[in-house]
A and B are shown apart, each in its own frame.
Chain A
Amino acid sequence: MPVKYLAAITVAASSLSAANASEIDSARFVLSGYGDVKYETSELQDSSAYSARFVPIFLFSLSDKIHVEAETEISLNAEGETEVELEYADLHYFLTDTTTLTAGKFLVPFGQFGPNIHPSWINRSPWTPGIYGSHGSSQAMEALLPILSDVGVAIQQTFVIGNYQKIFVDLYSTNGPGIEADEHEEDLAEEATEEDGHAELPELAFEAGSGDNNKNKAFGGRVAYAMLPGIEVGTSYYSATYDDDETLDITAQGFDINLIGSHYLVRGEYIETQTDGLEEEEGENEIHTFKRDGWYLQGTLQTGKIWSSLAGTDLVLEYAETNKLAEASRWMVGVNYWLDARAVIKIAYDDTDVEEGEDDQRLAIQLSYGF
Chain B
Amino acid sequence: MKQLINRTPLSPASWSILFLLMFSASWVSAEPSPINGAEVFNNNCARCHNARSLDEFSLQEWAVIMPHMREKAHLTGKETDAVMAFITLVKKGETKSASAKEGAHVLNGEALFNKYSCQGCHSVNGKGGTVGPALDTTIADKGKTFFLQKLKNPQFNNPASPMPKMPLSDEEIEALADYLSTF
- A residues near B (Cβ < 8 Å) are 24-30, 32, 59-61, 67, 69, 92, 94, 96-98, 100, 102, 115-117, 119, 121-122, 156, 158, 160, 162, 164, 166, 168, 226, 228-229, 232, 258, 260, 262, 304, 308, 311-312, 338-342, 370
Is B70 on the interface with A (CB-CB < 8 A)? yes
Tell me whether A166 and B46 are in contact (CB under 8 A): no
The answer on a CB contact under 8 Å between A121 and B64 is no
What are 15 of the A-B contact pairs (CB < 8 Å)? A27-B60, A27-B61, A59-B67, A61-B63, A61-B64, A69-B68, A97-B77, A116-B48, A162-B29, A229-B129, A258-B48, A260-B47, A340-B155, A342-B49, A342-B50
Tell me how many residue pairs across A and B have CB atoms closer than 8 Å.
Answer: 111
A69 to B72, CA, bound (A): 12
Q: Would B67 and A94 count as touching, CB distance under 8 A? A: yes
Residue in B71, B75, B161 whose beta carbon sits within 8 Å of that of A92 in the complex:
B71
* Interfacial residues of chain B within 25-64, with CB under 8 A of chain A in the complex: 29, 42-44, 46-53, 56-58, 60-61, 63-64
Of residues 139 through 167 on chain B, the ones whose CB sits less than 8 Å from some CB of chain A are 155, 157-162
Q: With A158-B74, A341-B51 as known contacts, state yes or no: A229 contacts B68, CB within 8 Å.
A: no
- Cα distance A1–B47 in the bound complex, in angstroms: 33
Residues of B within 8 A of A162 (CB): 29
Interface set of B (CB-CB < 8 Å, partner A): 29, 42-44, 46-53, 56-58, 60-61, 63-65, 67-68, 70-72, 74-78, 129-131, 155, 157-162
User: Which chain A residues lie closer than 8 Å to B160 at the CB level?
Assistant: 304, 311-312, 338-341
Q: For B63, B64, B75, which residue has the most chain A Cβ atoms within 10 angstroms?
A: B64
A98 touching B44, Cβ below 8 Å: no
| Cβ–Cβ contact B159 & A338, under 8 A | yes
Pairwise interchain contact A341-B161, C-beta atoms closer than 8 A: yes
Residues in chain B near residue A260, CB distance under 8 A: 46-47
In the bound complex, what is the Cα–Cα distance between A116 and B44 (angstroms)?
Answer: 13
A342 proximity list for chain B (CB < 8 A) = 49-50, 52, 56
Contact in complex: A340, B68 (CB < 8 Å): no
Interchain CB contact under 8 A, B68 and A94: no
Q: Are B74 and A122 in contact (CB under 8 A)?
A: no
Give the chain B neighbours of A61 by CB distance below 8 A.
Answer: 63-64, 67
Q: In the complex, what distance in Å separates the CA atom of A292 from the CA atom of B134?
A: 46
Are A311 and B72 in touch, CB under 8 angstroms? no
Main SS of chain B's interface residues?
loop
Give the chain A neighbours of B63 by CB distance below 8 A.
Answer: 26-27, 61
Can you name 15 extra interface pairs (CB under 8 A) apart from A69-B68, A98-B76, A229-B130?
A32-B65, A59-B64, A60-B64, A61-B64, A61-B67, A122-B49, A156-B71, A166-B74, A229-B43, A311-B157, A338-B159, A339-B159, A340-B160, A341-B52, A341-B160
Q: Once the chains bind, are B47 and A341 in contact (CB under 8 Å)?
A: no
B74 touches A156 (CB 8 A): yes
Nearest CB of chain A from residue B160's CB, rounded to whole Å: 4
A123 CB to closest chain B CB (Å) equals 9
Given contacts A59-B68, A341-B161, contact A158 B47 (CB under 8 A): no
User: Which residues on the A side are within 8 Å of B72 (C-beta)?
Assistant: 115-116
Flag if B64 contacts A29 (CB, 8 Å): yes
Nearest CB on A from B150, distance (A) = 12
Bound-complex Cα distance A98 to B29 (A)? 15
Give chain A nearest CB distance to B38 CB in angstroms. 12
**Complex: chain B residue closest to A154, CB-CB:** B71
A24 and B158 within 8 A (CB): no
CB pair B74–A341 under 8 Å, yes or no, is no
Question: For A258, what are the chain B residues with a Cβ–Cβ distance below 8 Å?
Answer: 47-48
9 smallest beta-carbon distances between A and B, as pairs: A27-B60, A67-B67, A228-B43, A338-B160, A229-B43, A30-B64, A341-B50, A97-B77, A122-B49
> Given contacts A158-B74, A158-B75, is CB(A122)–CB(B60) below 8 Å?
no
Complex interface: chain B residues within 8 A of A27 (CB): 58, 60-61, 63-64
Q: Which of A25, A67, A117, A308 has the most CB of B within 10 A?
A: A67
